[in-house]
Amino acid sequence: MNAHKILILKFSALGDVVHTLPVAATIRKSLPNATIVWMVEERFQDILKGNPDIDQVIPIRTKVWRKNWNRQSLSEILKTIKTLRQHKFDLVLDLHGLIKSGIIARLSGAPARAGFHRNNCKEKINALFTNQKSPYTAGGIHVVDMYLEILQTALGSVEKTKLFPLQIPDEADKKIARYFDEDLTHRPIIGINPGAGFETKQWELARFAELADRISAELGYSVLLTWGPGEKTKAQQISTHMKQKCWIAPPTSILESIGLYKRMTLLVSCDSGPLHLAAALGIPTVSIFGPTDPARNGAYGVNHATVYKVLSCSFCWKKTCPLGTKECMNRVTSDEVFEAVKSHQKITNQLS
């Protein structure tokens, strides 16, 4: 508990950064005078803007550096290392378990470097760079709790603070409010987000269209199709296949998307950043899982339902299906997802 300057290493992606927010909140409550710095990929840094638990953000561009290995990228890397060392961190929390995060932890010069047990690391070599390791977790533990376990390993017994502070500037929120007032009907809104980080996590667009039609026709909701970078065509294809009227969300920044999701009654999504963003905002979700384990990476908190099938090859975490079938996702029917949405509506009606 003597750490005064703490560095959090969680670079990406959107959902993973959201899942790490309780770590910063717990540090702030346990060590209110500590300096908390977060290193994150430049394109995700906005999610940390205005966060009361973070004193400084260090943006990095590892993907840009890998694709453009030149004098400029080398200069940026050396400058980043210099910045790390100037901070003189007491503790680094490596919440990735990767070789690159382990190297950065070591280069920081921090005497204490906490991370995953070797068998929980995504890349086992990472364990060579940390000197405080959380106990081995066999499975069934959500990644949010795994991150907090690493923190407890480093600081000892702390009161876990499972908060997800997400700030949106007034201008961005007003922009989204205008869109809802001008372009959407005033029925409750269910969002459908068809995108996911890699192909094996994606559900068939035709099934999303069938589901959206039933939600609109049978449950009386307006359906808003959401999308991220490079995903607009997915929303357009779903709309084309639909018989009922729907809406396609406008382009949004990360901060604007907070305003978008917080105005929904429910979000239907595969395992994606928007799913975890909605959950962090307290929006109920129905999610469709296949190659990733919902016990570890599902929507965190209450009022969330997950539809998935357990097969002999379940939770392989592969970006390309080893069987070439995507059977784990294809076995999930639109009827099953609709029933999960319908069950949520019944619960909401009972509580209102």
pLDDT tens for the chain, 352 residues long, are 577 999 999 999 999 999 999 999 999 999 999 999 999 999 999 999 999 999 999 999 988 888 888 888 889 999 999 999 999 999 999 999 999 999 999 999 999 999 999 999 999 999 999 999 999 998 889 999 999 999 999 999 899 999 999 999 999 999 999 999 987 877 899 999 999 999 999 999 999 999 999 999 999 999 999 999 999 999 999 999 999 999 999 999 999 999 999 999 999 999 999 999 999 999 999 999 999 999 999 999 999 999 999 999 999 999 999 989 999 999 999 999 999 999 987 776 665 5
Does the reported pTM lie above 0.85?
yes
Distance separating alpha carbons of residues 174 and 178, to the nearest angstrom = 6
75 & 10 share domain: yes
Taking CA atoms, 9 is separated from 78, 91, 125, 214, 241, in Å, by 17, 11, 17, 43, 42
CATH number of the domain within which 139 lies = 3.40.50.2000
89 & 226 share domain: no
39 & 93 share domain: yes
120 & 194 share domain: no
User: Is 337 contained in some domain?
Assistant: yes
96, 120, 155 - which closes a domain: 155
User: Is 161 contained in some domain?
Assistant: no
Q: Which residue shows structure tokens 């619960």?
A: 347
> Over the chain, what is the mean pLDDT?
95
CB 234 within 8 A of CB 194: yes
User: Is 162 contained in some domain?
Assistant: no
User: Is 163 contained in some domain?
Assistant: no
Burial class (CB in 10 A: 0-12, 13-18, 19+), 295: middle
268 & 296 share domain: yes
185 & 150 share domain: no
User: Is 326 contained in some domain?
Assistant: yes
User: Is 33 contained in some domain?
Assistant: yes
User: Is 164 contained in some domain?
Assistant: no
Residue range(s) defining the domain that contains residue 36: 5-155
197 & 333 share domain: yes
Domain tally for the chain?
2
Rg, the chain, Cα only: 21
155, 183, 199 - which closes a domain: 155
330 & 274 share domain: yes
126, 155, 184 - which closes a domain: 155
Residue 333, amino acid = T
118 & 10 share domain: yes
126 & 221 share domain: no
Please write down the HEC assignment for all residues of the chain.
CCCCEEEEECCCCHHHHHHHHHHHHHHHHHCCCCEEEEEEEHHHHHHHCCCCCCCEEEEECHHHHHHCCCHHHHHHHHHHHHHHHHHCCCEEEECCCCHHHHHHHHHCCCCEEEECCHHHCCCHHHHHHCCEECCCCCCCCCHHHHHHHHHHHHHCCCCCCCCCCCCCCHHHHHHHHHHHHHHCCCCCEEEEECCCCCHHHCCCHHHHHHHHHHHHHHHCCEEEECCCCCCHHHHHHHHHHCCCCCEECCCCCHHHHHHHHCCCCEEEEECCHHHHHHHHCCCCEEEECCCCCHHHHCCCCCCEEEECCCCCCCCCCCCCCCCCCCHHHHCCCHHHHHHHHHHHHHHHHHHC
159-213: pLDDT as tens digits: 999 999 999 999 999 999 999 998 787 789 999 999 999 999 999 999 999 999 9
User: Is 165 contained in some domain?
Assistant: no
283 & 310 share domain: yes
Which residues lie below 8 Å from residue 81, measured CB to CB, with a gap of 6+? Answer: 107
17-56: pLDDT as tens digits: 999 999 999 999 999 999 999 999 999 999 999 999 999 9
CB 4 within 8 A of CB 33: yes
184 & 117 share domain: no
